[in-house]
Structure 1
Amino acid sequence: MKKITLLFLFSFCTLIAQTEKYDQLDAIFKTLETTGNGMGGISIYQDGKEVYQNAFGYANIEKKIKSTATTKYRIGSVTKMYTSTIIIQLIEEGKLELDTPLSTFFPKLPNATMITVKNLLKHQSGLFNITEDDNFATWMFQPQSRIKMLDRMVKNGVIFEPGTDTSYCNTNYILLGYIAEEITGKSFYDIVQHMIVAPLQLKRTYVGTDRPKGDQEAVSHQRVENQWEVVSEYTEMSAPGGAGAIVSTPLEVNKFTNALYTDKLMSQAFYQQMTDVSTGMGMGLGGMPIMGMQAYGMSGQIDGFKSLAIFFPEQKISMTLVSNAYESSLQEIMMQVLQVFFKN
């Protein structure tokens, strides 16, 4: 009887502590909403299930559509984790190798015979970052053919020899998306559906189009005379492709990252290579210790959207924070969340 009583008291105290924790998390996002410093959503996933969710502000302030747990957002460069996973799956299927040269697919690109798939995955190709192209702000809003994009990559050249340095570069992941299309004969949209969405039974993850569609896909906002106004121009997703074209929800991003460290999308051996950040970056992600725990993840920014997805494999925890209107740093907000969540 005494053991049952002690167990009950322990469970009761744990429940109170968890309630207080979630109340404190609610307060963080309530403050963001009431002060007008941000709108978006967050999901925390632990041991294979969502343990916390919050949606704050509006998916579309003009239409008065409130954000909900199912609101979808452009996740920008968080897409790179998905593209990396697709390439690794193709390698494990024997359709590609880490040492396959870029010239196998696109021989006209500079240093194509020297640049490998691994160089692209690890941001060590030396190719010029195409989003720094002088005319990027003009052509990013227009549909882009692969030929046009490749011509720009040829024109912009290289900034260092392959494998001699690490430099974050969207060109690498646009090319990896093209390589996946070449190998499979499918569009990047269909590849994501077949290799990521279907196996994980995701319902709100896909490659976006020219602008947000429907009431359940958030639009982004910008400050104009101290008020949030809807952004009118959006990147045509044929431009960023494998580097930044995916749309998803915080929960479904967490389901994806959870699948990474639970071996549902690749072998443990390749997961170890993916998360090897000894050269500065892993394959489609970064990694560093946070509060004494090893964390991996990626941030994204596109068209007034920001995203931050991190996961702690040893603790079996994933956290994704997204925003479609912000005046506060997502990293600072996430640190507040971490300090509350891990304090007990």
Structure 2
Amino acid sequence: MKIAGRILILLTSFLFFQKIFSQDIHSEKIDSYINYIKKNNLDIGSISIFRHGKEVYFNSFGKIENQKFHNSTAYQVGSITKLFTAVLIFKLIEENKISLNDKLSRYFPTIKNSDNITIKNLLEHSSGLNNYVKKNEKIIWLKEPRTDREIMEEIVNQRILFSPNENVLYSNSGYYLLGKIIEKEFNKNYGQVLKDQITQPFKLSETKSAYENPKHIAGSYIFDDQTWHTAQDFYFKNIIGVGDISSNTQNLNTFINALFNHKVLLKETIDIMKPFIGKETYGRGLMTFNFHSVNFYGNTGGTYGTNTILLFDEQTETSIALIINGERYPRNEFINDIVDIIYNNNLKFPENTN
């Protein structure tokens, strides 16, 4: 009886702890942390936390004259776009219109090594394609409007970095081509496909492709001479499917929760998208992250001034969306501190405030 009683007590304590954890994210400590960020003018942006598909915390921060940031503020989210692009590709795969093993030459035969590069290679950055965002591997050239022809010529002319599956190296060129494959297969522009397949069905009203010409998007800022200045960012129609999407923190959390609850794609498909924890950083649209021994899936994004991270923890069904459009204290350190509060009840203020 004593042993059974101890087991019952332990089980009850565990269930009680689980119940408390499911409800309490230590929001007062998160408030203190965000207030420190605001007081010291360290970053500008917004954060949203979901638990079991519902928002349990939101805050915005930043000191910009005549600018207010709130829960409907939309930002450029950079390469979080790639997660949406990967989802659209997997929708085509689920509909048996394409396969992971289809060769790039089916669509773009003039690209070097296209007979050997597969759609899977493009998704997981194992294609060996270069990075068209840097012209001739060094010139910043996409802050001004460029034509599709100019961009394709740059991709075709760039050198191949390695043979497919030989290595892994992040390639914006690969996702630009995936965006074009989506357009060819759906016979619509990327913005319309995104709207039809994802944003309208899941009521993501603030999530838009640059093709939709979204209005009232928060700008990017850089800190110089003790004040924030507007940064010249991408001309976002140059990076369709790569980094063009604008959204807000709530929409991002809503999307990743729908994704992991298998409302967007099948569970088997999500399993293919995931990286192998401890073996891969990039999966096939999803990345893996570890903060304070907690494993997350998600993605990150960076423009010439805005940095975003979107995380989902399957064990506790916790998701965090952080968008910083003016960064002094780095995004990854910020999110690391937030995870420490949520999971360990440990509040630590940023040390680097220069």
Query: For 1:63-142, what aligned pairs fall within 5 Å after superposition?
Result: 64-134=66-136, 137-142=139-144
- Offset of 1:146 from its aligned partner? 2.2
Distance 1:135-1:167 versus aligned 2 partners, 3 A rule: closer
Query: For 1:1-344, what aligned pairs fall within 5 Å after superposition?
Result: 18=24, 21-57=26-62, 61-62=64-65, 64-134=66-136, 137-208=139-210, 213-214=215-216, 217-231=217-231, 233-277=232-276, 278-343=279-344
Structure 2 spans left out of the alignment, 5+ residues: 1-15, 346-354
Kept in 1, the 8 Å contact 2:208–2:214? The answer is no
Number of positions where the alignment pairs a residue of Structure 1 with one of Structure 2: 326
Structure 1 spans left out of the alignment, 5+ residues: 1-9
- Offset of 1:243 from its aligned partner? 1.2
Kept in 2, the 8 Å contact 1:220–1:230? The answer is yes
Paired residue type of 1:127: L
Give deviations 1:94-121, integer Å, cap 9, x for gaps: 1111011101111100011110000000
Distance 1:201-1:211 versus aligned 2 partners, 3 A rule: closer
Distance 2:318 2:138 in 1: 37
Equivalence for 2:10: none
Please, what is the CA RMSD of the aligned residues?
2.2
Kept in 2, the 8 Å contact 1:274–1:282? The answer is yes
TM-score, normalised relative to structure 2: 0.87
Distance 1:165 1:222 in 2: 34
Equivalence for 2:4: none
Partner of 2:264: helix, strand, or coil?
coil
Paired residue type of 2:32: A
Kept in 2, the 8 Å contact 1:128–1:157? The answer is yes
**More moved, 121-130 vs 134-143:** 134-143
Paired residue type of 2:33: I
Kept in 1, the 8 Å contact 2:131–2:137? The answer is no
TM-score, normalised relative to structure 1: 0.89
Distance 1:98-1:262 versus aligned 2 partners, 3 A rule: same
Distance 2:212 2:205 in 1: 20
Partner of 2:229: helix, strand, or coil?
strand
Equivalence for 2:349: none
Distance 1:18 1:91 in 2: 39
Distance 1:55 1:335 in 2: 17
Kept in 2, the 8 Å contact 1:210–1:237? The answer is no
Distance 2:59 2:72 in 1: 11
Partner of 1:66: helix, strand, or coil?
coil
Partner of 1:28: helix, strand, or coil?
helix
Give deviations 1:115-158, integer Å, cap 9, x for gaps: 00000001011011112323775530222322211110111121
Kept in 1, the 8 Å contact 2:77–2:243? The answer is yes
Kept in 2, the 8 Å contact 1:211–1:235? The answer is no
Kept in 1, the 8 Å contact 2:275–2:286? The answer is no
- Offset of 1:211 from its aligned partner? 8.8
Distance 2:142 2:344 in 1: 43
Partner of 2:234: helix, strand, or coil?
coil
Distance 1:209-1:188 versus aligned 2 partners, 3 A rule: closer
Paired residue type of 2:219: V
Give deviations 1:289-328, integer Å, cap 9, x for gaps: 4333321121111020010111112211110100111100
- Offset of 1:209 from its aligned partner? 6.0
Give deviations 1:57-102, integer Å, cap 9, x for gaps: 25xx35x121001100111011111110110011101111101110
Partner of 2:152: helix, strand, or coil?
helix
Paired residue type of 2:250: L
Distance 1:14-1:46 versus aligned 2 partners, 3 A rule: closer
Distance 1:143-1:35 versus aligned 2 partners, 3 A rule: same
Q: Identity, % of aligned pairs?
A: 29
